[in-house]
């Protein structure tokens, strides 16, 4: 039996094209959509409502000299979640505090969350007056994600800075209000 090389090559190219096209359309299923809710570190943010209330934790003080003032516009240059990077934000609040990235096991039994950005000093249950250090364990009062509130967390990083509450339209078109928190170095002037 003689094999027609041209026909074989054409068939292989067509099959490969179909396979690649199917992969390109995989974004339409719910599994791929949930992957869109993960940040750069692979953390699942599908349970996180990026919007929040305008209320801030008790004891949080307005920033004395923020780079961005309430009402200013800024571009988000660093993203914790899909749709943030490159979005234009309106500053809703600016506060001086210590900001932490944390790792914790959700209280609802979900998969361990690592390097969650951000919670602030005032979102720690019975917080001490001085900043915590990397490796310290704390109980979280923030409820940015399901299973976060009342979770015991390990501090991954700590930094004294200005944090901002922002309104923005995500790059996918979702309106987000009172998002907590972005740090000053995650924003840039337009």
The CATH class given to the 61-188 domain equals mainly beta
**Higher model confidence: residue 185 or residue 55?**
185
Say if residue 181 is preceded by a cis peptide, omega within 30 of 0. Answer: yes
Interacting residues of 145 by C-beta distance below 8 A, sequence separation 6+: 45, 47, 48, 106, 113, 116
Model confidence band, residue 8 (pLDDT cutoffs 50, 70, 90): very low
Instruction: Give 103-119 pLDDT, tens digit per residue.
Output: 999 999 989 999 999 99
For residue 104 the two structure tokens come to 């914790």
State residue 146's pLDDT score: 87
> For the chain, which residues make up each domain, given as ranges?
5-35, 61-188
| Mean confidence (pLDDT) of the chain | 80
**Higher model confidence: residue 22 or residue 9?**
9
Phi, psi of 99 (to 5 degrees): -110, 145
Instruction: Enumerate the β-bridge partners of residue 137.
Output: 154
State residue 106's pLDDT score: 96
State residue 145's pLDDT score: 85
- Which of 31-40, 54-63, 79-88, 167-176 is the least confident region? 31-40
Alpha helices in the chain (DSSP H): 5-24, 30-35
Instruction: Give 24-58 pLDDT, tens digit per residue.
Output: 333 333 333 333 334 433 444 444 556 667 789 99
Q: CB–CB of 72/89 below 8 Å?
A: no
Q: What's the average model confidence in pLDDT over 132-161?
A: 96
């Amino acid at each position: 039996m003689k094999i027609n090389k041209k026909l074989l090559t054409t068939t292989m190219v067509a099959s490969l094209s179909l396979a690649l096209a199917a992969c390109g359309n995989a974004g339409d299923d719910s599994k791929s959509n949930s992957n869109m809710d993960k940040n750069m570190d692979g953390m699942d943010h599908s349970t996180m409502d990026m919007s929040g209330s305008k209320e801030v934790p008790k004891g949080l003080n307005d920033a004395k000299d923020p780079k961005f003032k309430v009402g200013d516009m800024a571009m988000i240059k660093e993203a914790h979640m899909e749709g943030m990077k490159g979005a234009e934000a309106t500053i809703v609040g600016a506060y001086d505090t210590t900001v932490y990235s944390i790792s914790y096991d959700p209280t609802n039994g979900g998969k361990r969350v690592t390097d969650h950005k951000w919670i602030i000093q005032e979102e720690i249950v019975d917080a001490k007056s001085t900043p915590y250090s990397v490796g310290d364990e704390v109980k979280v009062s923030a409820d940015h994600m399901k299973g976060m509130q009342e979770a015991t967390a390990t501090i991954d990083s700590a930094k004294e800075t200005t944090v901002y509450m922002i309104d923005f339209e995500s790059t996918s078109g979702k309106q987000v209000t009172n998002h907590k928190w972005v740090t000053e170095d995650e924003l840039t002037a337009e």
